[in-house]
Chain A
Amino acid sequence: MALFSIPCTRIAGIAASVPATREETGDYRWISQREREQFIRTVGVESRRVVTKGTTTSDLCLAAARRLISDLAWKPEEIGIVLFVSQTRDYLIPATGGILQDRLGLPHSAIALDIHQGCSGYVYGLAVISSLMNTTGIGKGLLLAGDISSRNTSYRDKSTYPLFGDAGAATALELSETSFPMHFNLEGDGSGFDAIIIPDGGIRNGLSRSSFTYKKQGKGVYRNNLQVALDGMKVFNFSLREVVPNVKELLNNTNLTMDSVDHLVFHQANKLINESLRKLLKVEASKIPSSLRQFGNTSSASIPLTMVSELAGELASGKLTLLLSAFGIGLSWGSVLVETERIICPGVLEYR
């Protein structure tokens, strides 16, 4: 358990970018019409945005960041840190954060680094960037979180292909003496590392001829070892077991109740998981925004994308207490209580 608070950092703005290309679950011919209908009803994904070959996560994040910096009227030379959170980096090496530092025109003095996290990455990213800003005194920073999971799924794997969408998000943070502290509860269990995994292509299982061989993994599931393998039942049970105590512990630790929270923004895992978590926490549906229907599970981008697509008006016009809760690959999970007030929110941009 890591329960802690970070003072003096506020979210100044959030933008998200999705590819223009849309794929509909209704057109996914690998499964029957009846299965497609059940998938939409239960998993909740009607369409997803997917990149065309050559577009990277950093391209999506860069587009969102450029728009956000412009709307905030920030100058690149004022930005002292850029943190890139993703599991779909531009290259195996080097890190993508440095490439983004250059493409954004930030000074060499700007800290640039990557965090290799997926579903829980946005909450972890907020913790790391706000900690660094507080300890270094850096006044302005960018958290860029996103994934293009569609590049890593097999069309013949009904458990992953129609679920994952692509997106990138940019969150601008600034030091502010008067801001409400961010309260975190971060946890993890590495023994579940293989619940969501691409087995080959790293150092443990290097690339080999057999990495490319498609194998039947179950009914309707064929993939090779360079594509995402998802143990749905393991992830489902882990989420139902760990997320609710994590959220309750965070609220208890801050002496707050769910009544004080305007919106609970979950990682967009799937409708069945998120709806089960909602029932277990006894929260009314109107408090929990969802972007699953139009964007699917967008991994580390799912929380900022949901904030931007579903709450842009409220974020831009008022003061909100938000509880963000993320969980998944790693296994890794965490939640944060954050207060926003009239932030810059240009909405969801289409990347072409």
Chain B
Amino acid sequence: MYLYGGKSITGMTMDEFILRLEDEFDHLPKGTLKPGTNFREEVEWNSINALILIALVKTEYDVALTATDLQSFQTVQDIYSFVVSRQTA
């Protein structure tokens, strides 16, 4: 599962996950995101931001996100829960 150096999200708190997202989407001021934040509205969802999220989740946690997966996400909690579920599957 961690063939390519992906880190396990297990043990990572939601706060740490949020910090990682805020780092990657560099226009987001620290403290912007909460678990219930609607991610699509906050980052101005477009195709490039979708690819940034896919890249982050693949390179950091070795989890692949498809277009269908992305459509099911609304909140930060949705993304976090999905990544955790894929890692523990």
Q: Which residues from chain A sit less than 8 Å from chain B, CB to CB?
A: 35, 38-39, 42-43, 159, 218-219, 232-234, 236-237, 240-241, 244, 272-273, 275-276, 279-282
Contact = CB atoms under 8 A, between A and B. Distances in A.
B48 A240 contact: no
A282 B2 CA distance: 13
B64 interface: yes
A38 B43 CA distance: 12
Contacts, number: 49
A38 B45 CA distance: 13
Contacts of B58: 240, 276, 280
Interface of B is mostly: helix
A43 B65 CA distance: 19
B54 interface: yes
Contacts of A241: 64
A263 B78 CA distance: 40
Contacts of B66: 233, 237
Contacts of B46: 35, 219
A218 B48 CA distance: 13
A236 B48 CA distance: 11
12 contacts: A42-B51, A42-B52, A218-B47, A219-B46, A233-B47, A233-B67, A236-B54, A237-B64, A237-B65, A240-B54, A240-B64, A276-B59
A240 B55 contact: yes
A38 B50 CA distance: 13
Given A237-B64, A237-B66, A39 B59 contact: no
Given A237-B64, A244-B4, A276 B50 contact: no
A249 to B, nearest CB: 12
A233 B64 contact: no
